Each structure stands twice: as C-alpha cells, then as structure tokens.
Amino acid sequence: MNPISRRRANVDYTLLGAALSLLVLGVVMVYSASAIYAEKSLGRPFHFFQRQFIWALIALPAMGAASRFDYNRLREWVRPLYVITVLMLLAALFFPPIAGARRWIRVGSIGLQPAEFAKLVSILFLASYLDKKNSKLGFFTQGVAIPLGVIGLLLLLIGLEPDLGTPALIFAVTILMMFVAGAGLRGLVWSLICAVPIVIEELWRKPYRRARVLSFLAPFENIRGVGYQLSQSILAVGSGGWLGKGFGASKLKLMYLPKPHTDFIFPVICEELGLAGALLILGLFATILVRGIRIARSAPNLFGTLLAAGLSFSIVLQAFFNIAMSIGLLPTKGIPLPFLSFGGSSLLSTMLAIGILLNISRQSKAESLK
C-alpha cells in the first residue's frame, strides 16, 4: 500500500461523515431559526447565518490540523494551555456582561467564550495526569483529590460568570474519565455525594435558577410566567409530527421564544423536520459516541484512550443535556447543542475535539498496519 493510500485508509470516514453532517445541518438550521429574529432586531436576516458560516470555515481547517498533529505532543502543552485558560476565564469576568453573564472576551466584533475551550483543556489535563499517575489512582489524594482540585479551579471561575451548565458538564466528564482510568470507586462516589449539595445550593441561590427548577417541575402551570420558555419548547417539539412542517415553517421562531438559534435550536429542528429529523440528529450523535468509544479502545496508549473517551463523553453528554433540557427532562440551562447551536467558540472547540479523535484513530490504524 503506497503512503497516500495508507493515509486515506487511516481516516475514520464514519466519524468524519457524522461530524460534517451535523456541521452542515447546523449552519442551515441556524439560518432557518435566526432569520426572522435577525431581521426584526438587526435588520439583517443573514447576520447569524453569515457569522456561523464564517466560523465553520475557520473550524474546518482547525479540525484538519488537529487530525494531522501528533496528539502525543499535546502533553507538552498541558501546563501552558491550563494557565492560558485560567487567565482567559479571569479576563472574561472583567468584560461587560451580556444578558447578565460575563462569559465572553470581546475583541472588536469577535467574541470568544473561554469556557468552551476550558472543556478541551480539562480533558487534556485529565488524560495526561491520569496516564502518568495510573499506578497511584487507587489512593484518594492522587486518584481523586488532586485532579478534582485542578479541575475545580476551572469550575469555580466558570461558575462566577455565572454558569452552572458548563461546570456540571465538565464535572460529569471528569468523573467518567477518572472511572475509566481506574480511580478508586469509593472516592468517586464521595465526590458525587459532595457535589449534590453544591448543585442544590447553586440552583436555589439564584432566583432565575429557582424559576427554572419550578418550571421544570410544572412546565404548563404558569405558561405566561416561569414556564413560558419550556412550555413553548415542548409544544414546538410535539407539533412537528413525523416529518415536520417543512424547512423554514417553524412557528416557535416567530418571536415566541427569544433567540431560538442558540440553546433552543433543537425544538425548531423538531418542528420543521419532525421526528425524522430528531432521530437523524440523535443517530449522528450516537455514531460519534460509538466511534469515539471504539477509537478509545484501540488507541495506541492510555493517554490516547483517556483523551478519546473524554472528548467523546463531552460532545455526547453536552448534546444529551441540551436535548433533555429542551424537551423537559432536565431544568433549562445555558448550554449549546454541539455543531447546531449558534456560537463560534462552541463550534470551534467541538471541531477541534473531532480533529483530535480523528488523529487518535489515524495513529491507531497506522500502528495496526505496521
């Protein structure tokens, strides 16, 4: 087999196809979900579509570069990337708030959300640390306390924005990665037990979070008040039927729900593309999970296994949180749907994760061909 054929054979086309399908669908649905809102609020119906399209053009070569760069060399960048991420999260707290939250660093018309990249950095740190300390993970200090302490600083800074959804996602991925690495089960259980009162306190401390919990418990009890957002979302999902109302025909985006192209884009997709469209999306995310687990199992080393597992868990868990939120299975929170929700930082970090997964897969196949 010549070198060119070997490189082509090493590409995981199933994973790549699933990611690109979600990317294209996301750009199209951002236009459908945002055009009316953009026209009414900005006078430019293509505003969000154009921005998402530009970010997609940036994310594609970034994914390509990540798929070719030797993932093992990422170990060398763990500390500087962690420090840069902490500094970016701190900097975001000093920028003017947007919708009551300080989550973005703005440079002109470009806004970056450091928390999106903190997800990648946390997975990279955990993969490197758990690999190096693998023989000591049975001890509480090395196996639980130190990794949770390092990740906890990121969670604290993100929580100050304020943001509860992203820290919950990172914490869940952290526990899963530690479990896969072989950390002590008792320590992980105690970590989960200790996290419960913190989450409850955070939910109850902020009035808007209390309102979200109440609307989750009874979404149709006060549809003109706290239950409005969730009730509209559930109605949109149910009204799509088997095949949907057709592209562009969603009623939800007619100013019934603010900014439907962001966290609540899934109900728009369900209303326009129906159950068939929803199942397509779920199938594509399931494909990413299955391929990600297979890549993790066949990785050349433990670092690659943990890195692939963490990236796969992060993408799919985030999708689960967003979809479950939009159909009333979880309280609403600000967490985007990977590939599909409007947002350049989210799209770029997700495509970088796919690129690293393709990188690990490529090297696994190259090892098997030797």
Instruction: Tell me the residue type at 128.
Output: S
Residue 315: enclosing H or E segment and its boundaries? Answer: helix 302-326
| Per-residue pLDDT at 226 | 65
Position 3 scores a pLDDT of: 43
The 10s digit of each residue's pLDDT in 307-339 is: 999 999 999 999 999 999 888 888 877 789 999
> Residues 104, 113: contact at Cβ < 8 Å?
yes
pTM for the structure as a whole: 0.92
HSE of 339 in the Cβ direction (CA atoms, 13 Å)? 27
Give 267's contacts (C-beta < 8 A, 6+ positions apart). 232, 233, 234, 236, 237, 252, 257, 260, 326, 327
Among 32, 4, 24, residue whose Cα is nearest residue 247: 32
pLDDT, averaged per 10 consecutive residues of the chain (370 residues), comes to 48 94 96 89 90 96 94 94 96 87 83 93 97 86 90 95 91 95 87 87 76 72 67 80 84 72 90 93 97 95 96 97 89 88 95 97 69
Distance from C-alpha of 299 to C-alpha of 28, rounded to nearest angstrom: 34
Cα–Cα nearest to 40, from 334, 264, 330, 261? 261
Matching residue, tokens 């505003």: 47
As a whole number of angstroms, the distance between CA 215 and CA 86 comes to: 34
> What is the predicted pLDDT for the residue at 247?
85
Are 327 and 147 contacting, i.e. CB atoms less than 8 angstroms apart? no
Burial class (CB in 10 A: 0-12, 13-18, 19+), 162: middle
**Residue 255: predicted pLDDT:** 62
Tell me, what's the pLDDT at 216?
73
Distance (Å, rounded) from C-alpha 321 to C-alpha 336?
9
- Contact assessment for residue 15 and residue 292, using Cβ atoms and an 8 Å cutoff: yes
Q: Give the DSSP letter string of 21-68.
A: HHHHHHHHHHHHHHHHHHHHHHS-TTHHHHHHHHHHHHHHHHHHHHHH
Instruction: Give the Cα-Cα-Cα angle 26, 261, 121 (nearest 5 degrees).
Output: 65
Can you give the pLDDT at residue 56?
Answer: 97
Phi first, then psi, for residue 112 (nearest 5°) are -115, 140
Query: Residues in the chain, how many?
Result: 370
Long-range contact pairs involving 202-206 (C-beta distance under 8 Å, separation at least 24): 202/159, 202/164, 203/164, 203/331, 206/162
